Amino acid sequence: MKFSRLLKVAFISIIRVKLRSLLTTLGIIIGTASVIIMVGVGQGAQSNIEKQIQSLGSNLIIIAPGSSKSGGVRGGHGSFNRFTMTDVENIQEQSINLGAISPVLARFFQVIGGGNNWNTQVFGVSEQYPLIREWKVETGNFFGEREIAGRAKVAVLGKETAEELFGNSNPVGEQIRIKNIPFKIIGVLEEKGQSMTGRSNDDLILIPISSMLYRLSGSRYISFIFASAKSVENIDQAQNEVIKIMRKSHNINPGQDDDFMVQNQTEITEAATETSQVMTLLLGAVAGVSLLVGGIGIMNIMYVSVTERTREIGIRLSVGAREQDILLQFLLEAMTLSIIGGVFGILFSILTIYLLNEFSNLTAVINPLIIIIAVLFSAFVGIFFGFYPAKKAAELDPIIALRHE
Amino acid sequence: MNNTININNLDKTYFIGDIKIPALRNINLSIESGEFVAIMGYSGSGKSTLMNIIGCLDKPDKGNYLLDGSDTTNMKKNEYAKIRNEKIGFVFQGFNLLPKANAVENVELPLLYNRSGITSENIRKKSVAALERVGLGDRLDHTPVQLSGGQQQRVAIARALVNSPAILLADEPTGNLDSKTTIDVFQLFQELNEQGLTIILVTHERDFARYSKRIVELRDGRIMKDKLVTDRRYAKSDLLLLDKNNEENDL
Ligand SMILES: Nc1ncnc2c1ncn2[C@@H]1O[C@H](COP(=O)(O)OP(=O)(O)OP(=O)(O)O)[C@@H](O)[C@H]1O
Ligand SMILES: [Mg+2]
């Protein structure tokens, strides 16, 4: 029989048992929809994590004190466990692959300004810090090399801090007191939102590192060194270069462990995405099982259908239908059922994902690839689970099929 | 047209558990193109079994069946299907219509499986014509349950004829019809036979068997008699007679 005619026959057969067809497709609808939704939610979480990591700044390299190998026996050479400005200067002078570099020393202080009192984190950094973090100044300016050299009492406020202290009025030019020392506000940063740790990136104060060291902390140690590679491509080179410089200046002999850690953003991203990928995979697998169950539902119905319609098959065979005609007819029925189920599953999942994004704090993405895979898979389920009953139908002996009651 | 049926030493035995039921025993039968054969016999004598084998729906256990000189016993399934589709029209004892399809859809069925590339419009046209021929032109979209037993039988006849087969096999095609309609059907058969169609049918009534040219009688699976009809009836003149009688009765 011509394919288009077979398709018509299959369609008519499906229409004739509407309720049963609907119930059969329900399994596929739920299966396809849950695959798309689950993977969508998983990938939504994944892209959230990636976005947050991106907010650290591109090409970021973080150098922290301490060994990356926690269990190793440390050598007896002096205690270089904390960094000083000398480390920053060494790296700055010797590196060729780094674009920007900044020391970071953070402390919590009670800050007074605009008639208000606010406890916040104060960061001592260099003038290159905004470049590394890709932060922008919304009003006013950031401090420069001159302010660093002069240990200037200037501060740049995060958006939230500015609002807490000064409300909606422009704080640039105003004064704040940190540890009773007056600082002049010279700029306010753009709003950036949540950081990965959940702490706001907008509630902070940036001051020159020199002012931090000499006026506030009273020690010569800094917490971290933040740097950025000149480009994403040479981030590994930059990292290796930093390690080499640090080992040399800390007099670490070959074979001895580093007394510092260098991490780049790709590594951080990889670790985080790997976790969320595993989660996506797991969600998808669970959903896949339900699709499989839907497929078994189709097989079940096809079996019932073949048994019920044995006489019909006999009649078709008796007027000259060939084995492959019957096989194809039942296969097409199974496939049509599962594809219809797949299509409704897609519509349902798109609606659900839309509602999730709109009315819940879950982020789910619609992945066209997963949709294609889900459709192909549901067609495959139709073929796979429809084949055996269809084959059974096609191989019937006409006279036996006709005698069937 | 040159179709010949040649059956040699054919046996067909059914088994119900261990019990052997010989349905056909040592059948030898040959039917030439253009013949009109009535098969008679008591119930259970093997008439339907023989028809099914001739119609390529069933296979013999022993002996062989040559159709147009080629042995059907070793044919592939698809060749069998092709014969059923193109060469033979079969009217079943129990009609065997698709219960959910209407009259035209039922009649269309053999054409749908035809491999000649016939268009959908032609399929429809031919099916409607076949139904009109059996007097059901006004019942095209009725499903079997919406038709009387006689009408269903005529749909089955239309389906058997729609693909213009060379051989028509009919297992008690008039079993459900009143005598007037029965004679109508025999008139159609006689007309088709005159045009060259080979007809083999099963009937219980000797009166109706006389519309054929040859009567084969079965008993317990064996051919008991095989005779040409000497006192043949002609449906056309019977119908005329019937009309005349009716008119007289009306007066
Ligand atoms: N599928 C079957 N299984 C077992 N025995 C069968 C089967 N079909 C037919 N028979 C037996 O074979 C014999 C011949 O049956 P068949 O149907 O050919 O008779 P028939 O002459 O057509 O009878 P009727 O006039 O009642 O239609 C009968 O004894 C019947 O019981
Ligand atoms: Mg019978």
**What are the domain boundaries of chain B?**
34-56+77-250
- If phi > 0 it is left, if psi is from -120 to 50 it is alpha, else beta; for residue A352 that is alpha
Residue A279: which pLDDT band, with cuts at 50, 70 and 90?
A: confident
Interchain contact, A323 vs B81, CB within 8 Å? yes
**Of A74, A377, A320, A340, which is closest to residue B85 (Cα–Cα)?**
A320
- H/E segment holding residue B16: strand B5-16
Residue A70: which pLDDT band, with cuts at 50, 70 and 90?
A: very low
Give pLDDT tens digits for A20-66: 888 888 888 888 888 888 888 888 887 777 777 766 666 788 888 87
Residue A196: which pLDDT band, with cuts at 50, 70 and 90?
A: low
- If phi > 0 it is left, if psi is from -120 to 50 it is alpha, else beta; for residue A173 that is left
Q: What's the mean pLDDT when you consider all of chain A?
A: 84
**Architecture of the domain spanning B34-56+77-250:** 3-Layer(aba) Sandwich (3.40)
As a whole number of angstroms, the distance between CA A371 and CA A181 comes to 61
* Residue showing tokens 């419009």: B121
Q: φ and ψ at A181, to 5 degrees? A: -95, 130
- In chain B, which residues have their Cβ closer than 8 Å to the Cβ of A317? 81, 84
Interchain contact, B109 vs A325, CB within 8 Å? no
Instruction: Pick the atom of ligand 1 nearest to B93's CA.
Output: 27
Least confident of A69-78, A198-207, A233-242: A69-78
3-class SS at A127?
Answer: coil
pLDDT at B158 over 70: yes
Q: What is the DSSP string of A100-113?
A: EEEEEEEEEEEEEE
Q: φ and ψ at B214, to 5 degrees? A: -150, 140
Amino acid at A54: Q
As a whole number of angstroms, the distance between CA B43 and CA B59 comes to 21
- In chain A, which residues have their Cβ closer than 8 Å to the Cβ of B163? 320
Chain A nearest-CA distance from B208, in A, is 26
Pick from B13, B20, B21, B218 the residue to mutate for probing ligand 1's pocket: most ligand atoms within 8 Å of its CB.
B21
Q: Which residues contact A253 (CB under 8 A, 6 or more apart)?
A: A75
Q: What is the predicted pLDDT for the residue at A79?
A: 47
Per-residue tokens: A237: 């080179």
Q: What's the mean pLDDT when you consider all of chain B?
A: 91
Interchain contact, A16 vs B100, CB within 8 Å? yes
Q: Which residue among B58, B109, B120 places its CB closest to the CB of A316?
A: B109
3-class SS at B36?
Answer: strand
Pick from B27, B45, B59, B200 the residue to mutate for probing ligand 1's pocket: most ligand atoms within 8 Å of its CB.
B45
Strands B36-41 and B214-219: parallel
Beta strands in A173-306 (DSSP E): 175-178, 181-189, 204-208, 221-222, 224-229, 260-264
Q: Which residue among B81, B92, B98 places its CB closest to the CB of A320?
A: B81
As a whole number of angstroms, the distance between CA B4 and CA B167 comes to 10
Length of chain A: 405
Q: What is the predicted pLDDT for the residue at A2?
A: 73
Which residue lies with its CA nearest to atom 17 of ligand 1?
A: B48
**Averaged over A3-12, what is the pLDDT?**
81
Q: What is the predicted pLDDT for the residue at A75?
A: 45
Q: What is the predicted pLDDT for the residue at A404?
A: 80
Q: What is the predicted pLDDT for the residue at A31?
A: 83
Angle CA A342–A343–A349, to nearest 5: 85
Q: Which residues contact B22 (CB under 8 A, 6 or more apart)?
A: B11, B12, B13, B14, B220, B221
pLDDT at A77 over 50: no
pLDDT at B2 over 60: no
**Averaged over B113-131, what is the pLDDT?**
91
CB A365 within 8 A of CB A44: yes
Give pLDDT tens digits for B222-243: 999 999 999 999 999 888 888 8
As a whole number of angstroms, the distance between CA A243 and CA B211 comes to 110
Q: Does A17 touch chain B (CB under 8 A)?
A: no
Angle CA A384–A387–A390, to nearest 5: 155
Give pLDDT tens digits for A122-180: 999 999 999 888 889 999 999 999 999 999 999 999 999 999 999 989 999 999 999 99
CB A156 within 8 A of CB A212: no
Q: What is the predicted pLDDT for the residue at A71?
A: 41
CB B24 within 8 A of CB B11: yes
Which residue lies with its CA nearest to atom 25 of ligand 1?
A: B43
Amino acid at A384: F
**Averaged over A301-310, what is the pLDDT?**
82
State in Å: Cα B192 to ligand 1 middle: 29
Interchain contact, B81 vs A315, CB within 8 Å? no
Give pLDDT tens digits for A281-304: 888 888 778 778 877 877 787 788
Q: What is the predicted pLDDT for the residue at B50?
A: 96
Q: What is the DSSP string of B71-108?
A: ESTT--HHHHHHIIIIIEEEEBTTB---TTS-HHHHHH
Least confident of A56-60, B26-30, B70-74, B142-146: A56-60
Q: Which residues contact A354 (CB under 8 A, 6 or more apart)?
A: none
3-class SS at A33?
Answer: helix
**Averaged over B161-175, what is the pLDDT?**
92
Chain A nearest-CA distance from B110, in A, is 5
Other beta carbons within 10 angstroms of residue B2's beta carbon come to: 9
Burial of A136 (0-12, 13-18, 19+ CB in 10 A): exposed
CB B217 within 8 A of CB B37: no
**Averaged over B200-204, what is the pLDDT?**
94
pLDDT at A73 over 50: no
Instruction: Pick the atom of ligand 1 nearest to B52's CA.
Output: 18
- B132 CA to centre of own chain: 18
**Of B9, B12, B49, B14, which is closest to residue B26 (Cα–Cα)?**
B9
Q: Which residue among A319, A322, A399 places its CB closest to the CB of B109?
A: A319
Q: What is the DSSP string of A11-45?
A: HHHHHHTHHHHHHHHHHHHHHHHHHHHHHHHHHHH
Minimum Cα–Cα distance from A317: chain B residue: B81
Judged by its nearest atom, the ligand closest to the C-alpha of residue B25 is 1
- B21 CA to centre of own chain: 25
Per-residue tokens: B195: 């045009």
State in Å: Cα B43 to ligand 2 middle: 7
- H/E segment holding residue B199: strand B198-202
Q: What is the ipTM of this complex?
A: 0.92
Strands B70-71 and B62-67: antiparallel
pLDDT at A98 over 50: yes
Interchain contact, A323 vs B52, CB within 8 Å? no
State in Å: Cα B14 to ligand 1 middle: 9
Residue A80: which pLDDT band, with cuts at 50, 70 and 90?
A: very low
Least confident of A297-311, B104-118, B120-134, B217-231: A297-311
B16 vs A271, residue with greater confidence? B16
Interchain contact, A320 vs B78, CB within 8 Å? no
Give me the numbers of helices (H) and strands (E) for chain A, helices first please: 13, 12
Q: What is the predicted pLDDT for the residue at A258?
A: 81
- Find residues 85-124 of chain B whose CB sits inside 8 Å of chain A: 85-86, 90, 92, 96-98, 100, 109-110, 112-114, 120
As a whole number of angstroms, the distance between CA A160 and CA B67 comes to 97
Q: Which residue among B58, B98, B110 places its CB closest to the CB of A320?
A: B110
As a whole number of angstroms, the distance between CA A166 and CA A202 comes to 14
pLDDT at A382 over 90: no
Q: Does B129 touch chain A (CB under 8 A)?
A: no
State in Å: Cα A78 to ligand 1 middle: 107
Number of inter-chain CB pairs under 8 A, A vs B? 60
State in Å: Cα B48 to ligand 2 middle: 4
State in Å: Cα A344 to ligand 1 middle: 50
* Residue showing tokens 């008679």: B40
Interchain contact, B96 vs A399, CB within 8 Å? no
CB B187 within 8 A of CB B236: yes
Q: What is the DSSP string of B210-246?
A: TTSSEEEEEETTEEEEEEE-SS---HHHHHHHHHHHH
pLDDT at A334 over 90: no
A382 vs A315, residue with greater confidence? A315
Length of chain B: 251
Minimum Cα–Cα distance from A402: chain B residue: B96
Give pLDDT tens digits for B58-107: 999 999 999 998 898 888 989 999 999 999 999 998 889 998 899 999 99
- In chain A, which residues have their Cβ closer than 8 Å to the Cβ of B97? 315
Which residue lies with its CA nearest to atom 18 of ligand 1?
A: B46
Strands B5-16 and B62-67: antiparallel
3-class SS at B27?
Answer: strand
CA B141, B143, B145, B149 torsion-angle sign: positive
**Of B50, B107, B110, B54, which is closest to residue B86 (Cα–Cα)?**
B110
Q: φ and ψ at B57, to 5 degrees? A: -95, -20
Q: What is the predicted pLDDT for the residue at A78?
A: 41
Q: Find the largest Cα–Cα distance for chain B.
A: 64
Spell out which residues line ligand 1, taking CB within 6 angstroms: A 403; B 14, 16, 21, 23, 41, 43-49, 93
**Averaged over A309-326, what is the pLDDT?**
91
3-class SS at B90?
Answer: strand
